[in-house]
Amino acid sequence: MLKSILGKTFCLPDIMRKEMRKQYGVLYPGDGKKTTEQILSAMGNPKKLITIGDITTFNVLKCGRIPDISVVDEKTQREAVSSNIVEGIKHSNFKTLRVSNPPGFVTEELISVLSEAIDCNVPVQIMVDGEEDLAALPAIVLAPISSVVLYGFPNKGAIMVKVTSEIKNQICNMLNRMNCAN
C-alpha cells in the first residue's frame, strides 16, 4: 500500500470534490480548546498523533499535547491566519521540514516529507508553501496502525481518524483515483 503512493503526485478532479467531504473518522462539532480536549480524551494513546492544519495544531498545542507530526501552511480556509495562530503553532521541540504543495494536489514531495517525518523520533512540523488541505490523505496511508490523524472540517469542527488497515485501504484507493500525469 505504502509503495503504491510513493513517487507519485495526485490531483483532485472536480468529480471527486463531493467525495472528499465524506468523513472517514469521527466529527467533533465546534472548535477551540473544549472540543480539542474531548478529542484528546477520546483518542487514547495513539502510536503517532498527526495534526493537519493550523487551527487543529494550534488547539492541540494549546491543550498541552505536542503532535508527533503537524502539517501547517499559516492559512485557514485559504486565508492567512492571525499572528497569534502563527506563533501558537510553533514549538521548540519541532524539527521543521519545508515542502511545496499547490492547492488541489498531493505532491510527490509532500508524500516523501510525510514519510520521512513518520520515521522521526522527534516531533516534526511540516511547513507547506501552498496548501495542506489534502495532506490528511497521505498521512493516513503512511501512518502506523493505531495512529490518529486530526484535521479541521470547515465551519463544523474537527475530525479524528483512528488509523486502521481498512481506512488505509479506502484512502489509498481514493488517492489512486486521483492520479495525475507526473
pLDDT (tens digit per residue) in 30-44: 878 899 999 999 999
Q: What is the pLDDT of residues 110-164, one digit of tens each?
A: 999 999 999 999 999 999 998 898 999 999 999 999 999 999 888 889 999 999 9
Q: What is the DSSP letter of 115?
A: H
Contact present, 47 and 77 (Cβ < 8 Å):
no
Q: What is the pLDDT of residues 45-96, one digit of tens each?
A: 999 999 999 999 999 999 999 999 999 987 776 666 667 776 778 888 899 9
Contact present, 56 and 156 (Cβ < 8 Å):
no
Category of 7 on φ-ψ map: left (φ > 0), alpha (ψ -120 to 50) or beta: left
pLDDT at 19: 78
Answer yes or no: pTM beyond 0.85: yes
Separation of CA 162 from chain center: 13
What phi, psi does 46 have (nearest 5°)?
-70, 155
For residue 36, give the 3-state DSSP assignment: helix
pLDDT at 75: 73
pLDDT at 182: 45
